[in-house]
Structure 1
Amino acid sequence: MNSAQENPVIHITPHDLPLHCAGPKNETWNGHPRVFLPIQSNSRIECPYCGSVYQLDGEAGGHH
Protein backbone atom coordinates (compact mmCIF):
# COMPACT_ATOMS: atom_id res chain seq x y z
CA MET A 1 0.00 0.00 0.00
CA ASN A 2 1.27 3.45 -0.92
CA SER A 3 1.49 5.67 2.16
CA ALA A 4 1.90 8.89 0.16
CA GLN A 5 -1.27 10.93 -0.05
CA GLU A 6 -2.31 11.47 -3.65
CA ASN A 7 -4.16 14.60 -4.71
CA PRO A 8 -7.37 14.08 -6.65
CA VAL A 9 -7.36 15.14 -10.30
CA ILE A 10 -9.03 18.52 -10.87
CA HIS A 11 -10.89 18.48 -14.21
CA ILE A 12 -11.01 21.76 -16.11
CA THR A 13 -12.43 22.84 -19.45
CA PRO A 14 -11.10 25.32 -22.04
CA HIS A 15 -13.40 27.91 -20.38
CA ASP A 16 -11.15 27.75 -17.26
CA LEU A 17 -8.02 28.82 -19.16
CA PRO A 18 -5.52 30.29 -18.63
CA LEU A 19 -4.84 27.80 -15.86
CA HIS A 20 -3.34 29.01 -12.61
CA CYS A 21 -2.89 27.44 -9.19
CA ALA A 22 -2.62 29.17 -5.81
CA GLY A 23 -2.77 26.03 -3.69
CA PRO A 24 -5.63 23.69 -2.91
CA LYS A 25 -8.10 25.10 -0.38
CA ASN A 26 -5.51 27.41 1.20
CA GLU A 27 -6.17 30.74 2.81
CA THR A 28 -4.46 33.68 1.11
CA TRP A 29 -1.93 33.99 3.92
CA ASN A 30 -0.65 30.40 3.73
CA GLY A 31 -1.01 29.52 0.04
CA HIS A 32 1.81 29.36 -2.46
CA PRO A 33 2.29 32.08 -5.10
CA ARG A 34 -0.13 32.02 -8.03
CA VAL A 35 1.57 30.14 -10.84
CA PHE A 36 0.30 29.81 -14.38
CA LEU A 37 0.53 26.26 -15.70
CA PRO A 38 1.13 25.66 -19.43
CA ILE A 39 -1.33 22.83 -20.02
CA GLN A 40 -1.74 21.18 -23.41
CA SER A 41 -5.03 20.05 -24.99
CA ASN A 42 -6.51 16.91 -23.43
CA SER A 43 -3.60 16.42 -21.03
CA ARG A 44 -2.58 16.66 -17.37
CA ILE A 45 -0.15 18.89 -15.52
CA GLU A 46 1.02 18.92 -11.91
CA CYS A 47 1.61 22.10 -9.92
CA PRO A 48 5.30 22.22 -8.92
CA TYR A 49 4.46 23.92 -5.61
CA CYS A 50 1.65 21.82 -4.15
CA GLY A 51 1.29 18.77 -6.37
CA SER A 52 -2.28 19.52 -7.48
CA VAL A 53 -3.01 17.66 -10.72
CA TYR A 54 -5.12 19.33 -13.41
CA GLN A 55 -6.73 17.55 -16.37
CA LEU A 56 -7.82 19.65 -19.35
CA ASP A 57 -10.83 18.06 -21.01
CA GLY A 58 -10.84 19.74 -24.41
CA GLU A 59 -8.68 21.84 -26.70
CA ALA A 60 -6.40 24.54 -25.31
CA GLY A 61 -6.91 26.73 -28.40
CA GLY A 62 -4.96 29.98 -28.27
CA HIS A 63 -4.18 29.77 -24.55
CA HIS A 64 -0.69 28.94 -23.31
Structure 2
Amino acid sequence: MSTPNVADYKRLNDTREVVVKRQDLPLSCPTDASALWCSHPRVSLAIEGAEDKTARCPYCGTLYRLID
Protein backbone atom coordinates (compact mmCIF):
# COMPACT_ATOMS: atom_id res chain seq x y z
CA MET A 1 0.00 0.00 0.00
CA SER A 2 1.42 3.37 -0.98
CA THR A 3 1.54 6.35 1.34
CA PRO A 4 -0.49 9.37 0.19
CA ASN A 5 1.53 12.47 -0.63
CA VAL A 6 0.71 16.07 0.37
CA ALA A 7 -1.28 16.74 -2.82
CA ASP A 8 -3.55 13.77 -2.02
CA TYR A 9 -4.57 15.33 1.29
CA LYS A 10 -6.02 18.29 -0.60
CA ARG A 11 -8.48 15.81 -2.17
CA LEU A 12 -9.90 14.45 1.09
CA ASN A 13 -13.49 13.33 0.62
CA ASP A 14 -14.96 15.93 2.96
CA THR A 15 -17.43 17.65 0.62
CA ARG A 16 -20.95 17.56 2.02
CA GLU A 17 -22.89 18.94 -0.97
CA VAL A 18 -22.14 18.41 -4.64
CA VAL A 19 -23.97 19.94 -7.60
CA VAL A 20 -24.28 17.63 -10.61
CA LYS A 21 -25.58 18.07 -14.14
CA ARG A 22 -27.29 15.57 -16.44
CA GLN A 23 -24.00 15.09 -18.27
CA ASP A 24 -22.57 13.70 -15.00
CA LEU A 25 -25.15 10.89 -14.84
CA PRO A 26 -25.31 8.06 -13.94
CA LEU A 27 -24.34 9.21 -10.47
CA SER A 28 -22.31 7.24 -7.99
CA CYS A 29 -20.53 8.09 -4.77
CA PRO A 30 -17.65 8.52 -4.36
CA THR A 31 -17.20 10.39 -7.63
CA ASP A 32 -14.18 9.98 -9.88
CA ALA A 33 -12.78 13.22 -8.43
CA SER A 34 -12.59 11.71 -4.94
CA ALA A 35 -9.36 10.37 -3.52
CA LEU A 36 -9.52 6.57 -3.61
CA TRP A 37 -7.44 5.99 -0.49
CA CYS A 38 -10.03 7.54 1.80
CA SER A 39 -13.22 6.40 0.07
CA HIS A 40 -16.07 4.08 0.95
CA PRO A 41 -17.40 1.39 -1.42
CA ARG A 42 -18.96 2.84 -4.60
CA VAL A 43 -22.75 3.12 -4.48
CA SER A 44 -25.11 4.14 -7.29
CA LEU A 45 -27.51 6.99 -6.52
CA ALA A 46 -30.83 7.36 -8.39
CA ILE A 47 -31.09 11.13 -8.46
CA GLU A 48 -33.08 11.42 -11.72
CA GLY A 49 -36.23 9.91 -10.20
CA ALA A 50 -36.12 11.92 -7.00
CA GLU A 51 -38.93 14.47 -6.69
CA ASP A 52 -36.61 17.15 -5.27
CA LYS A 53 -33.72 16.16 -7.61
CA THR A 54 -31.43 15.31 -4.69
CA ALA A 55 -29.82 12.13 -3.42
CA ARG A 56 -27.86 11.49 -0.25
CA CYS A 57 -25.06 8.93 0.00
CA PRO A 58 -25.88 6.31 2.65
CA TYR A 59 -22.17 5.90 3.51
CA CYS A 60 -20.77 9.42 3.86
CA GLY A 61 -23.90 11.60 3.89
CA THR A 62 -22.86 13.75 0.93
CA LEU A 63 -25.89 15.46 -0.64
CA TYR A 64 -25.98 15.53 -4.43
CA ARG A 65 -28.18 18.12 -6.15
CA LEU A 66 -29.17 17.85 -9.84
CA ILE A 67 -29.39 21.34 -11.35
CA ASP A 68 -30.52 20.75 -14.94
TM tier relative to shorter chain: 0.5 to 0.7
Alpha carbons 2:16, 2:61 under 8 Å: kept = no
Between Structure 1 and Structure 2, which shows a larger proportion of helix residues?
A: 2
TM-score (structure 1 length as normaliser): 0.63
Q: 1:46 aligns with which of 37, 56, 59?
A: 56
Over the residues paired in the alignment, what is the CA RMSD in angstroms?
Answer: 2.3
**2: CA distance between counterparts of 1:9 and 1:45?**
10
**Structure 1 segments of 4 or more deviating over 3 A?**
none
What is the 5 A alignment of 1:1-64?
8-22=16-30, 27-40=35-48, 43-58=53-68
Equivalent residues, number: 51
Structure 2 SS opposite 1:15: helix
**1: CA distance between counterparts of 2:16 and 2:61?**
10
Cα drift, residue 26 of structure 1:
5.4
TM-score (structure 2 length as normaliser): 0.60
Q: Which runs of 5+ in 2 are unaligned?
A: 1-14
Partner of 1:62: none
**2: CA distance between counterparts of 1:39 and 1:30?**
24
